[in-house]
Chains A and B, each alone.
Chain A
């Protein structure tokens, strides 16, 4: 039974014989799947106001609150789908939900 460590870039060039039996794949591949592109609203984090209470971290359904050494360091926009749960849960007003097109406009300006 084959289980290959796939190069995600080559995914579509695998031959039938190279396909993992039963499409059983190594774990953790969803990290390679950039679902952040589905987002229409974007949470924006105010690091200075953040108390590192971790309410957003524990609430995020996409594990997109990045934490290092017990402290929040940012948001994983590759996987955040902009659901806004973190913004809703934040007790300290340091997360704001803005429109993606406005975020893009802000970036371009």
Chain B
């Protein structure tokens, strides 16, 4: 562990930019979009100041940004970029291509609502659109964690057992722009941890020519997808391995599922990202009053750590899952469906109440957070419906 860590104030976006600077990608192709812009803006300054050797490609759209990243990664480069919201949506076809071609690109996403109506504030509508693409997806709660996750992302993405792109996400404004107490390791420590990326079969190796993105009919197409699924699922243990290795260096805990008070909790809330702080704040107050409540925060959404989430819920009489995006037309939100599936697989049958909250940056107040724990008691008692509801908009 480093002995001379000095804490300082920084935003989540600054911390992501610093992590990317320390990992020093060979290529970054990016397009600015709120609330991600200050990541690539900061990085552009690192390039202009000669602090990194990165080839910085300014492009005309996010579709082009990720396309350029795909080409650079296939050529053998370490590649990073960042986006948000409509930008991530515009990257949709390349998201699938990146994962299908198994290109270890690291991309930060400052989670933001999608139009319409147009809205620049935090929710998870953008990132949940990427949940079925094959990318590994991590959610940071804090600026500090956005830094740690981004450092670990390079290691995970480029590992031969994984070879998949990673979306390292932080909540728009709440985490991307708020100043927090942060620490970072020195450049040499991070470079030694991340190491050099040597692509196994780069396009630019003209002595060993390869073809990328070839056409495949059903048989090969299915096998390629299955291999991608296995790599993504198997990445959970790799994330844990490198997370723990990073924890040993920096001294900050790294758990794929963060839990608070779940050992003997009667009521458990599952939530992603920055809202976990709100949930823990109320859980602490309720525990001080003698109630047994807990909070579960998966740090990794893809691959989904189903067993660990179910284990953290096992004592609960009722579980609330807080989704910061909706899957309109489905019975549950994206996280709700995952958790219910995980509990079912684990043979757990307690009722689960799925809340849609915080869309478009809607505040999660202490009163609303408290109402979730209160409602869970009614759900467990059978006096309230576990059916999905929009938090604060129940009728």
Contacts and interface: CB of A to CB of B under 8 A. Distances in A.
Interface of A: 1, 3, 11-12, 14-17, 19, 21-30
Dominant secondary structure at the B interface: loop
Contact of B210 (A12, A14, A25): A25
Interface in B91-133: 100-103
B101 A22 contact: yes
A26 B211 contact: yes
Residue among A1, A19, A22, A23 with max Cβ neighbours from chain B (10 Å): A22
Given A21-B163, A22-B163, A29 B214 contact: yes
Contacts of A15: 223
Contacts of B216: 23
Contact of B219 (A12, A27, A28): A12
Interface of B: 100-103, 160, 163, 200-201, 209-214, 216, 219-220, 223-224, 226-227, 230
Contact of A1 (B200, B213, B223): B200
Given A1-B160, A1-B200, A16 B226 contact: yes
A21 B232 CA distance: 13
B210 A27 contact: yes
Contacts of B102: 1, 21-22, 24
B234 to A, nearest CB: 12
Contacts of A28: 209, 211
Given A19-B224, A22-B212, 10 more contacts: A12-B219, A21-B163, A22-B102, A22-B163, A23-B220, A25-B214, A27-B209, A27-B210, A27-B211, A30-B211
A3 B224 contact: no
9 contacts: A1-B201, A22-B100, A22-B102, A22-B163, A23-B212, A24-B102, A24-B211, A28-B209, A28-B211
Nearest to B230: A16
A3 B214 CA distance: 14
Nearest to A17: B227
A53 to B, nearest CB: 31
A22 to B, nearest CB: 3
Given A1-B163, A22-B101, A22-B102, A16 B223 contact: yes
Nearest to A28: B209
B334 to A, nearest CB: 26
Nearest to A11: B220
A30 to B, nearest CB: 8
B214 A23 contact: yes
A26 B223 contact: no
B160 A23 contact: no
Contact of B101 (A12, A16, A19, A24): A24
